[in-house]
Copies of this chain bind each other. A is one copy, B any other.
């Protein structure tokens, strides 16, 4: 193991407990998104697509600023610009300058876009239950929320 095979170096290599925590986390991070995305593909959605559509659908009048969307989805503006461009091309969303302040851009769901997220939501929730919630007892669920908070990762509402 590279991490702990050089005792001659001034590096605090990981012990077994640390390694178990670390590898647990990274494995979840690497594998879980793919699992949750797979059923969404039937709707032509990536996981991030779904989360973006979901966040907009929850906003007042199903519209919000791109910067607010970036905050809610933990995504970069660059990424979202590309995503919303795809949505526009599919007729799911539209973008326009915020009338209150032209520096901002508002992203709004079309009726078609709303229908997509409505259709996909039950599938998404079922996947979340199956892959995340059902296998975990309450103390583990609480731990997940607590850990995310401790790691200074802001959970977004989805």
A23-B125 in contact (CB<8A): no
Question: Interface residues, chain A, CB within 8 Å of chain B?
Answer: 1-3, 5-6, 9, 11-14, 17-33, 36, 51, 53-54, 57-58, 74, 117-118, 121-122, 124-126, 128-129, 131-133, 135-136, 138-158
Is B147 a contact of A6 with CB atoms below 8 Å? no
- CB-CB under 8 A from A141, the residues of chain B are 17-18, 20-21
**Nearest Cβ distance between residue A147 and chain B, in whole angstroms?**
5
Residue of B125, B136, B148 touching A27 (CB-CB under 8 A): B148
Question: In the complex, A96→B135 CA distance in Å?
Answer: 41
Supply 11 further A-B pairs (C-beta < 8 A) apart from A3-B121, A20-B141, A25-B148: A11-B121, A17-B145, A21-B136, A22-B144, A23-B155, A26-B51, A27-B154, A28-B28, A29-B29, A136-B151, A140-B146
Q: Which 3 A-B pairs have the closest CB atoms?
A: A24-B148, A23-B155, A143-B143
**How far, in angstroms, from A151 to B6 measured CA to CA in the complex?**
32
Check B21 against A133 for contact (C-beta < 8 Å): yes
* Residue of chain B at shortest CB distance from A56: B2
Please report the C-alpha to C-alpha distance between residue A14 and residue B124 in the assembled complex, in whole angstroms. Answer: 11
Residue of B9, B117, B126, B155 touching A122 (CB-CB under 8 A): B9
B-chain residues with CB within 8 Å of residue A122 when the two chains form the complex: 9, 11
**Chain B residues whose C-beta falls within 8 Å of the C-beta of A139 in the assembled complex:** 143
Question: Which chain B residues lie closer than 8 Å to A2 at the CB level?
Answer: 53-54, 57-58, 117-118, 121, 158
* A145-B20 CB under 8 A given contacts A121-B2, A125-B13: yes
